[in-house]
Structures are given as structure tokens and as C-alpha cells.
Structure 1
């Protein structure tokens, strides 16, 4: 996904036809944004067109063109959002991008207007905490106004997303090999990795991540626990410098082999949000040992990677096994501060 000037985007692309049909002023609006030097997020496809377009802007004043009016405060307006759905959960990727933008700008809320007929989009947004707030009426018709409160915790992992409620939660670190790390966690790409390895596939786009392992201590992991993603060394140097914590996730559920009716049920569940091939999934199901399937939400990428050496020297971590280990509240706070995690993502006070 690229952040691109309006002036560099082809307005005549058929991708925009549905927007022209819904909004008579769309071409004029687009040309005005181009003249003003504005930019939008786009996802080009291999045919030379677009599969996604997202325009976001910050507003601070009372919004008077919706009923009821939106109060004063820092708001992200989703000016335009369109996705060519093709079974890769790209919509989730854009929802995450909206929230990332809101977090970076310390927004109190996010709002979007959407016509009734876009039922799938409304359902997607409401799944992650947007609520129907009011109506906007223009010459194009009446649209729902959906609002997401970026300060509110509802004790629901999905509706609270991307906020991370750390109060009373257990915290762990979970190791992931480099071969899998960036495809699962695209916003946590390392500086020495090439962006082209991030492909438009469901596990990359999805807010939800599924990971499979045989580490026995994972039996201690439960829903609502906080997981720090620890990318292991790629073998090109010492783990002290090349093993790093990159991301924060929140556990939705932890399943075992017994949680599934059969192998096919397990494969169907896992491949929705995992980057593993079906053949590998089946091989691991048949392998002896304590199989664990971890489903979690991808809430935040670190702005600064925290190396193994820093974890040892500064944080005081030195577990017997770096594959999966518990961290104390104090160690967790040190790690997220070292990682530059935005404070407004972390809920640690009642």
C-alpha cells in the first residue's frame, strides 16, 4: 500500500466509476484535492489499476453537516474509502490503516459516512467498534454516520481494537521465525527487509493472526493476554543484535488439537489467518506432541525494534528458553517504552 499524491493517481481508472455514480461531485472533488497537493493510500494491482483507495483527513472543529453534530475534538474523517474485494481481507487492512492514522494523530474519534447499500462495509466497521451515530443528508441522498470512539474501552477485543487494555493482563513474548514474521506482521517490517516480500494475501491484510507451535509453556496463554512478537535471528549475525521484539498482539483464543472436530476442521480454521501452506498444516496436525493454535489481533508495530541485547542488558530478561517466556508488568512497560509504542494505544488506568 502506497501513500500517493492525488495528482499521480489516474482519475479515469474504472475503479472510481462507482464513486462517480454515488457522488456527482466526485471528479471535481478529486481535482481539487490534486490541486491542493493532497495524498491518499492506494493499492495498485498487477493490471495497472487500483484495488484500494483511502483518503483520510484531520478535523478539529464541530462538524455541522451531520445530524446530530459531531463535537469539537481531534477527529479522523474517512473522506473516501473503496476496496475491490477479492477474498484477501483487504478491507481489514484498510481498517487497520485508518486506526494507525488515528493513533499517530492522537485522535479522539474516527468517523465515516456510508450509504445503506454498503452492508458489508458497515458490518466490517461495526465489528471493530464503529457505531451508528447519525445521518448526513446531501443532494446525493442520506448516508449513515458511523463513529469510532478512540478513547473508549468496552471489554471486547474486537470493538476495543486497536487499544490494548493491559490492566491485570498477563504478558508474554512469543518467538516467530523470520521466514514467517513479515508476511504475518507487515507493519513491523525491518529496515533490512525488502518491502516486496509483503504480498496481498489474507494473512498479511488481516487484523487477525493465527500462529501454530509446539511450545509446551503456551498452555499458560489465555484470551486477553498480551503477546510481544519476538522475531528470531535470521542467522546473518548474533541473536544479540538480530533477534528483536517488533509488535504487540492481544490473544483472542488458544486452541489445541482436541479443540477441532477433525483435521479438515483444523485446516479450515487455520488457513483463514495463517501464512502456512495447507500441506504444512496437515503435517503438523498429524505430528505427535502438544499442538497449539494461537489466534490474536495485531494491534501495534514498534517504532523502534528492541534487540535481544537490550532485553538482556537494559530490561533484565534472561529466560531459559527464548521461544516463549513471560514478562513482568515492569519489564513490559520498559519494552514498550524502548519500542516507542504510542501511549494512546495503551490503557493502563481505570
Structure 2
């Protein structure tokens, strides 16, 4: 029988599968720099071996969803292996949709070689020029239509290579001045919230992964949008998707207990529970979801298992260093042209 802990898309410690110690069976995993050997010579092959080992361990019934945040620019988990790469805004301004699609394709190709089947990208927030809010040039444009065009092209390229993307951070952090890793940002202007959300309208559909921000809006107050059903499954813009909250360990939702975070997330309509940073956090989240009524977990659990059932098939039988080097040369050449 499936367990409610399969709703967790969790971080973990370790660079090799034998080191990974999780007290539950997750449905998804997310890798961070702490899970990647920074040595460019051995790191990529070691990453593929890690993912293959975790798939064998946790994905025998259904494939695991295995993700990371690989946007390029300032959010690039692969930076130690590939060097500096451009953020989405620079790609958009320099080459429009063609360049955005090309970069999505490049990242998708490399991620598939490593064994990933999900990338938590692209950013669909509106660019606002605020230096300290955590978004900056990760966002393509301050115009909703341009943002949707850039993100949509990147997404098309990424998914054409067999890696699912994820729209973030719905309904949009444009105009905020506080990084939601540190606390709960707020947008008091409902019209600005509507403008931010407009960038997601053309891109979201019922099978699209959509990450919801820890952001207080006039509609969600006093909750963050991530924990508010009227901002998730019952959002006023009619945007559908496979919703998941941003990392539930972030400062933006720290004022709520773990049982409250989990209950409110499930009531809001999330299909996954994303918890990334510490053993204490993912253990507390797993314990909390285990106390939830079956009726609250059954729908999300069916949805997450359906997504896993339809993930792209695994790549070839082993890591190919020649193909990796070929990809790396093309990626670096593309970076020099931006």
C-alpha cells in the first residue's frame, strides 16, 4: 500500500546512495550542491551513480521524481562542473525566444545524462530590479507577456529533452523586497498580484508542475499564498497545475507548526510537499503527514503516483563521459556567446 510519506519531495544528505539515510520512503528527491562532488572529472559520473542507486532503492515500484534547481546564472547547481552561465534575463535580452529555447534544450540534455527527470525551472516571476529579494536577473522581464514568452520557450526546450519543468514562484514575487528564504514577503497591491499572475496564465495546465511562493497577498492574509487554498487550487485566475509549495523549511512559512504547514498545504490543493534542507525538517514533515486523515492524503497521493508513472523513461544504461564532454563544450561555447 502506498504511504502518505510518498507525498514528500525531499532533500537528503550524502554523495553516494549507500550514505543516504532517510527514515521514510519519499516519492521525490531534490539534489543540492551538498549532494554533488565538485570535482569536474569525477562529479558528473558520481551524480549519475547516486541517482541510479536511489532509483533502485526507492523507485522499484514507481520511478522517483528526481529534481534540482538548474536555471543557469546565479542558481546553477552544476556551476562547479560547467562554470558561469547566463541568467534567463540576459538570455532573453540577448536572443529572445530562440535563445531561451536553446538554453532550455541544453540544460535538459545535460540533466538527462545525469539522471534527472525534473528541473525546478523556469522562473516566471516578473523582473523588478530589486537587488535583495532573491529573484533579480533570474526573471526575464517586467512585462507579463515577455516573461511568459521567455519562460515558455525555455520550458519547451527543456521538456523536449525529456526533463519536466516547473513554473515558479506562483502567483509571482515581482515587486517584493524580502527574500522568502528569510521571512514572509508581502504584496499589498492586489493589482500587482494580478499582474504577476498573468505571466503564468499562458503556461500552466493541469499536468504542469507549479511551485507556489511563500508570499502574503491581500487575498491570502494572514497566510502565505502557499498555504491558502484561494491562492492555489481555488485561485481566482483559473490557473491549473500540479501544485507544490516552495520549500516548507523556508522562513516564509516558519511561523506555522509542521502539522499546520502540512495540513494547510494539503487543504490548499498541493500534490507534493517540498522539504529540502535539514534531517530535522524532512523528518518533522514526514511525521506530520503521517498524522493527517486518509481523506486529506488520498487525492494528492493518487496524483503524485500518476505523475511518477508518466515520468520520462530513464536514460541509457550508464553515464557516457564522451557524450558529457561533447555537451559541456557546446554549453561553454553558448555561454561565451551571450
TM-score range, shorter chain: under 0.3
Higher helix content, 1 or 2: 2
Q: In terms of Rg, which structure is larger?
A: 1
